[in-house]
Structure 1
Amino acid sequence: MIEIKNVSKTFNQRTGGTFTAIDNVSLSIKKGEFLSLLGPSGCGKSTLLNLVAGLEHAQQGTITVNGKPCNTPGPDRVVVFQEHALFPWLTVLDNVAFGLKQKGIPKKQREEMALEQIKSVHLSRFADRYPHELSGGMKQRAAIARALAMDPEILLMDEPFAALDEQTRLILHKELEEIWMRTKKTILFITHNIREAVILSDRVLVMSTRPGTIKKEFNVQAARPRDSADPVLRHTENSIMDVLADELEKVVKEEMGDEYSLKKDSLSNRSSDSMGSGI
């Protein structure tokens, strides 16, 4: 459904010069697949999602959706951002129905369609509330309902749960999995959280540090609905961490420079010494 071939993206820096965010990335996403991109900060995950959304343009390579070039945003792709981006002056119902209004759908019909999606994310009792009256998790549910109301083929989700507390995040994992199993939307999901990626995804692609490339692919074989205690998930999570550890170390080295070598050399390897001495 989504075909990314040899895509590279370079940005201009404010201080002069350029940097390459992603370099020669190729991947395919099948219809109805839940795929996550995982990697350290700055590896180009969000850049790749923005390219698929049509919000950015690649200097090299091609991106097609259903065989058609993907150069501009379209109704077949809807983005759910880290911040909910709800209109504060509109109720939940009006926020969810906003895109339908822009499409010219009559009021009664769009409200019925919006209420159906509000019900799917368990916000029926809060349809007449304003964003400031909602918790962070409720706001993000409303944002997901707004995306679903447009009935896109593809959901592009850019760290949608990153700003939420752990308990709320776990609840929304279950709800998103239920929505995906019911609708079979194609989902491209960006996250820093290994467990989140493993619990939700059919496949997880680990990206390298900048310039971002696809370092390794993991197929998640656990049955659905997922159980976080499933040993298959734990094994996959540990395997991903082994691959990601090297990339995280590269990020720390880049940020700390010479200090990294000094602090690393000062650490003791003796098990009898206090943990963290020399840091």
Structure 2
Amino acid sequence: MIQIKHVRKTFKQRSSGSFTAIDDVSLTIRKGEFVSLLGPSGCGKSTVLNMVAGLEGYDEGTIEVNGTKVTGPGSDRVVVFQEHALFPWLTVLDNVAFGLKQKGIPKKERYEKAMEQIKTVHLSKFADRYPHELSGGMKQRAAIARALAMDPEILLMDEPFAALDEQTRLILHKELEEIWMKTGKTILFITHNIREAVILSDRVVVMSTRPGTIKKEFAVQAARPRDNADSVIHHVESAIMDVLAEELEKVVKEEMGDEYSLKKNDFSRDSADSVGGGI
């Protein structure tokens, strides 16, 4: 469904010319697959997502969706951002129905479609509430419902749970997995969190430090619905940490100097869940 072929992206800098954010990235995502991009801060994960969404161009290579070159945004792709981006003056129902209104769908029909997705994310009791009356997790549920209401083939999710507390995040992992299993949407998911990537994904694609390239891919062949205690989950998580250690060392040396050295046991599974998030 998504074909990224030898893509390169540079950004101009005010002080010193330009820098390469993405270099020779190639990736195929099949229809109905859940794929996560994982890597240190600044590796270009969100840049890849924005290019697939058609929000950013690229300098070399091609990006195709269903065999058609991406030249801009399309109704077949909807983005869920880290910030919920709900309109504060609209209720949950009107926020979820907003895109349908823009498409000219009659009021009764768009409200029915919106309520169907509000039920999917378990917000039926809050359909008449405004964003300031919701918790962070509820706001992200509403944002996901708004995306689903547009019935896109592809969901592009850019660290949608990064700002949430751990308990809320775990609940939303389960809910997103249920939604994905029910709808069969193709999902490209951006995260810093190793556990999140492994729990949710069919494949985890690890990116290197800038310029971002694909360092390694990991298939997560664990049963669904996923269980945190599954030994397969822990095995894949440990393998990803080993690959990321070298990339994290590069990032830290850039910040702290070449004298810094990262030892294999310098970070535990828990401390490494969010790789590079605070660097």
Residue 259 of structure 2 is aligned to residue 238 of structure 1: no
How much does 1:191 deviate?
0.2
2:145 is matched by which residue type in structure 1? A
How much does 1:120 deviate?
0.2
Q: Give runs of aligned pairs for residues 1-150 of structure 1, distance below 5 A.
A: 1-150=1-150
Q: 1:196, 1:127 → 2: CA distance?
A: 28
Superposed structure 1 runs of 4+ greater than 2 Å apart = none
Q: 1:79, 1:255 → 2: CA distance?
A: 31
C-alpha distance after superposition, 1:83-118 (max 9, x if no partner): 000000000000000000000000000000000000
Q: 1:3, 1:247 → 2: CA distance?
A: 25
Q: Give runs of aligned pairs for residues 120-269 of structure 1, distance below 5 A.
A: 120-258=120-258, 261=259, 264=261
Query: Superposition RMSD on alpha carbons, in Å?
Result: 1.3
Q: 1:28, 1:74 → 2: CA distance?
A: 19
Q: Structure 2-normalised TM-score?
A: 0.93
How much does 1:13 deviate?
1.0
Kept in 1: contact 2:249–2:261 (CA 8 A):
no
C-alpha distance after superposition, 1:43-86 (max 9, x if no partner): 00000000000000110000000000001000000000000000
Identity of aligned residues (%): 82
3-state SS in 2 of match to 1:15? coil
C-alpha distance after superposition, 1:122-153 (max 9, x if no partner): 00000000000000000000000000000000
Structure 2: runs of 5+ lacking an equivalent: 266-279
Q: 1:14, 1:30 → 2: CA distance?
A: 39
1:13 is matched by which residue type in structure 2? Q
1:124 is matched by which residue type in structure 2? S
Structure 1: runs of 5+ lacking an equivalent: 270-279
C-alpha distance after superposition, 1:227-249 (max 9, x if no partner): 01100000000000000111001
How much does 1:17 deviate?
1.0
C-alpha distance after superposition, 1:163-203 (max 9, x if no partner): 00000000000000000000000000000000000000000
Q: Structure 1-normalised TM-score?
A: 0.93
2:122 is matched by which residue type in structure 1? H
How much does 1:256 deviate?
1.2
How much does 1:257 deviate?
2.0
Q: 2:4, 2:84 → 1: CA distance?
A: 27
How much does 1:264 deviate?
4.8
